Amino acid sequence: MAILGFVFLVFVILVVIGSYQQDKELREKQKTENQEIDEILELISEPMDNNTKQIIIGRHPSENNNGKAPDISDKSVGPLEEVENTADNDSVYYTHMEPAAFCFVDNYTVIDIETEGFNFKQDKIVELSAVRVRDNKVVDHFQVFNKDSKVTDFLLDNSPLTQTVIDDQGIEIKEMLKQFLDFLGDDDMVGHNIGFDLNFIRYNLHYYDLGDLRNYYIDTMLIGKYFAQPNWHHHKVDNYISRYPEKFGGDNLEQHTAINDVMIEKRIYDLQRETLGEDWTGMADASMLWSLPKHRIQLTEDGLKEVKLNRMKDKADRLQNEKKYADAGDAFTELFYENKGDVFSDKEIKWIYKSAINNYEKAKDPESMIMAIQQYEDAFGYFMTQADHNWVNRRKEKLGIE
């Protein structure tokens, strides 16, 4: 009995020691993570060097370049063409290349989009709308739907948009983008959290080889957050509607249709102009970088590669859906070789290769299937899990090979 008691005591001590060690490791990990976060916060809160890190905003574009209007008619060069594009994680890229401005102008175009979701690389644009403003008055409007998009549950619950409208009035997205560019021309763009819209528009312009969108833009969300209404906790469109019902609610503009949202956003712009004054200009600092578009004007080599691979993946998926299995197998195999580990994760690459093998199996093409299996094993080898091995072995058995 004494021996059992002693063994139990030793067991309890070991559990306590193990628990203490685990807690200590967690505390050390949390401490390291907190230090990293503090370093990041300290970095972005540092004053910006005027020569390299000050965003070229705070005055109308025509006042840049010592009072001489910059020549932006050539869309192949950026607003500061002498500054080369840099790596994706380099904040200097933002500060030199983004044509942002904090000011009030009389002639501009307000833009807004509705989307299937928040991921500009995966979700489609549902609606793209704009209004042209001249001398502070709306003179024309633009509204187009993407026929290949789906109205999500969120839009069904929060807007009058329906799938019937999309199916009846929608056009090809490439044509949609072309029409938008024609309507926009060289106008400055105004929008609320416009970086979100620009992510989708730029990505799709690059995807369909339609060039860059280099127009100057003004973000009313940032003007509100940092200048016009800095004491508010939130600066969503809803906050403006609830605080100023006489300005936004009189004609019952329903949110979450882009054509209504652009009218609401114009009123936010007008309100901020009243608050700050006609001649107001603002300056940005590093704390605002979070709001700028994540999809750049000039894509880096890696960015171009990513767009190319996503286009190839779409092609492979489409061929598979059309049950053109032999062509789909070839497309997935080509996608694997083009990737070379640059864009897709190992998990995604495995899925791509398994898709190739499955399509060759459905196409009844055993030779291509055997070749794809061999390439799959050569590519992953030691990193294949037992589930991977079992999946491959079942297909080998069907082919009668070991």
User: How far apart (Å, rounded) are the C-alpha atoms in residues 201 and 283?
Assistant: 25
Per-residue pLDDT, averaged over 285-305, amounts to 77
pLDDT of residue 220: 95
Sign of the Cα pseudo-torsion (361, 362, 368, 374, in order): negative
For residue 137, the surrounding DSSP H or E stretch is strand 137-145
Sign of the Cα pseudo-torsion (221, 82, 302, 48, in order): negative
Question: What is the Cα gyration radius of the chain?
Answer: 27
User: How far apart (Å, rounded) are the C-alpha atoms in residues 67 and 87?
Assistant: 31
Strand pairing class (108-115; 125-134): antiparallel
- Quote the tokens at residue 278: 């006609």
DSSP secondary structure letters along 272-295: HHHHH-TT-B----GGGGGGS-SS
Q: How far is the CA of 118 from the CAs of 113, 153, 197, 199, 309, in angstroms?
A: 11, 14, 10, 10, 20
User: How far apart (Å, rounded) are the C-alpha atoms in residues 388 and 390?
Assistant: 5
Per-residue pLDDT, averaged over 334-348, amounts to 77
Q: What is the mean pLDDT of the chain?
A: 77
User: How far apart (Å, rounded) are the C-alpha atoms in residues 89 and 402?
Assistant: 47
3-state secondary structure 323-390: CCHHHHHHHHHHHHHHHCCCCCCHHHHHHHHHHHHHHHHHCCCHHHHHHHHHHHHHHHHHHCCHHHHH
**Higher local confidence (pLDDT), 218 or 28:** 218
Residue-wise burial string across 303-312, b where 16 or more C-beta atoms lie within 10 A, e elsewhere: bebbbebbeb
Q: Band the pLDDT of 171: cuts 50, 70, 90.
A: very high
Q: Could you report the per-residue pLDDT of 37-78, keeping only the tens digit for each?
A: 343 334 333 333 333 233 333 333 433 333 333 333 332 223
Write the CB contacts of 202 (distance below 8 Å, at least 6 apart in sequence): 212, 213, 293, 295, 296, 297
Whether pTM > 0.85 for this model: the answer is no
Beta strands in 166-252 (DSSP E): 189-191, 217-219
Instruction: Return the minimum-mean-pLDDT range out of 84-98, 145-159, 165-179, 287-301.
Output: 84-98
User: How far apart (Å, rounded) are the C-alpha atoms in residues 164 and 174?
Assistant: 21
Q: How far is the CA of 322 from the CAs of 179, 326, 366, in angstroms?
A: 29, 11, 21
User: How far apart (Å, rounded) are the C-alpha atoms in residues 172 and 305?
Assistant: 24
Per-residue pLDDT, averaged over 186-194, amounts to 95
Block residue for tokens 């491959």: 392
User: How far apart (Å, rounded) are the C-alpha atoms in residues 237 and 264?
Assistant: 8
Q: Could you report the per-residue pLDDT of 276-293, keeping only the tens digit for each?
A: 999 998 877 777 878 888
